[in-house]
Amino acid sequence: MKMSYTLKEQWEFIKPIWRILLVASLAQLIGGFTAIFIGKYGHFIIDFWFGTAISTFPGFILGLLWHSSKKQIKDNLLAIGFIGFLSLTLTLSAFFMPLENFASSLQQFPM
């Protein structure tokens, strides 16, 4: 199995699903900055991470709706399923991680 790919080869892998990746990434940025603004945990890194994590799966769903060509979904089912699984796992992990403890630990270190 080839372990190193050129940028052109990498783009060939991503090209069929670029809409899903773009929308999920934009949703993460919007969610991250929104969470910093709300400031639930009191530390901007934890707040940003929480916001990006909880907005990943909704971003994936929106990207999938934009992508909605049934032939492209069928042709790239493995990649879309993998990204969906990672998105769902990241979103669910945000609700089960002890972020309050992480934030209080980070408060001890001066910036």
Tokens 């929308």 belong to which residue? 23
Q: What pLDDT, on the 0 to 100 scale, is given for residue 11?
A: 85
Give pLDDT tens digits along the chain (111 positions): 677 888 888 888 888 889 999 999 999 999 999 999 998 888 888 889 999 999 999 999 999 998 877 777 888 888 899 999 999 999 999 988 877 777 777 777 666
Q: How far is CA 38 from the centre of its chain?
A: 19
| Extents of the domains making up the chain | 30-107
Contact 17, 67 (CB under 8 A): yes
Q: What pLDDT, on the 0 to 100 scale, is given for residue 110?
A: 64
Q: What pLDDT, on the 0 to 100 scale, is given for residue 41?
A: 81
